[in-house]
Structure 1
Amino acid sequence: MLKSLQGKTVIVTGGSRGIGKGIALRFGEAGLNVLIVSRNQADADQVAAQIGANAAGIAADVSTEEGCAAAVEAAISRFGGIHVLCANAGIFPAAKLGDMTASDFDHVMTANLKSTFLSVSATLPAMTEAGSGRIIITSSITGPITGFPGWSHYGASKAGQLGFMRTAAIELAPKRITVNAVMPGNIFTEGLDGMGSDYIAKMEASIPMRRLGTVSDIANAALFFASEEAAYITGQTLVIDGGQVLPESLGALEAMA
């Protein structure tokens, strides 16, 4: 059992839906104070209401310095400090090379990679004052390990997060601040609603465990990285994909039967 994190404060960017919402709910369940950051105030407030009195929501764009500063100010004002950052905000529009514009590329890199840098930078003073901190980045298997047509910009941003993480982990180690990343595979979120059973079945067929992951699978890994038990782990990644990246070919999956 992990030591209690009750009373500590976490900022979850992109915390109003999908994996971010799952992380926010799990951290709230573990007794942390949770600041949910979303572009939409109503969405953030809705998640905060599910958690209870130890949570609050704020509308902020964490791809800007102003938005990150506002989130930090809100966490300190409401809860007195910051101990954990879950840098989860991100987007995944599809555009294949030849159709993708420079603006498309910049938009994804700003939303996914620049927001990671800015949110980490903004939380450093509070974590330094606290004497320690935990930073957990939501990356992906797409980019660092795998690829998918239409997501070259997304993949680049997710691989970039890991490059950022490794040097940040070195720089921040003397401050007792750890920096790690979770790397989800195919996770069932509300974004898959309406895609149909055939689409989901095709996704499941590529996974040795024959099911999509849940947001709780990712949230539990993030909670571990935030724990005291993970204090000596930094600059590391945890792939949570049901074995999706393991088969060398379709034949390997067929041979499971």
Structure 2
Amino acid sequence: MPWRPDLLALVELAAPSSCAGCGAAGTRWCPDCAVVLSASAPRPWRPTPCPRGFPPTWTGLAYAGQVRAAVVAWKEQDRVELNPVLATVLRGVLAEALAGSPPHTAAVLQHTPVALVPAPSAPSSIRTRGRRPVPELAAAAGRADLLVDALRLTRRVQDQAGLSAQQRAANLQRAVTVRPRVRAALREVPCVVVDDVVTTGATLAECTRALLAAGAGPVVAVTVAATARRPAQARPQRAD
């Protein structure tokens, strides 16, 4: 049931709305930030350096500025009203990924299964947030009947924030597995791993490893955003 205008007004007085991207008062998502999200076209993306086993990946936006603020607000501050905002971006990325992978394209044309597989969250994160943002986003962006909650963490891992590419890879090494109850359903089925942001690629590579080890078909990945690549450092010149 929709909230009555007078109740919404009371909520606004108690906790005034602000744009999740730029902080502008009086709106939860302003037109200027909406333009930012619509400005970037989906594109293939690879991290530098690229981890072993990294799947073909498509993303939509650079993880910076208003985009970063919006993703953090959606994921960490319970701004669930951003689900449709970010899902619109991910939906376009997903379409490009399916079109750019021949096995996935063939499956769609033949009306055979394609599985949308959310990257797993640590149990502690789920308890803290009280929700699982990435599966919510995947369901909003694609057909909910294609969503397969297949992946889980088998051991405790560190928070990835602040870790280097090598540390992230070591942190997640063989930490993900496919739930036994869905293994048979995923056998030889093309899969799309879904996550919000790709940084070093360690998470997507580990999810791909786990799916392929369980007998899944070809794997690609999609994300809303990607961190900017760091320029390679020039090697010091040797003195003559």
**TM-score if structure 1 supplies the norm length?**
0.30
Question: For the pair shown, which has the larger CA radius of gyration, 1 or 2?
Answer: 2
**TM-score if structure 2 supplies the norm length?**
0.31
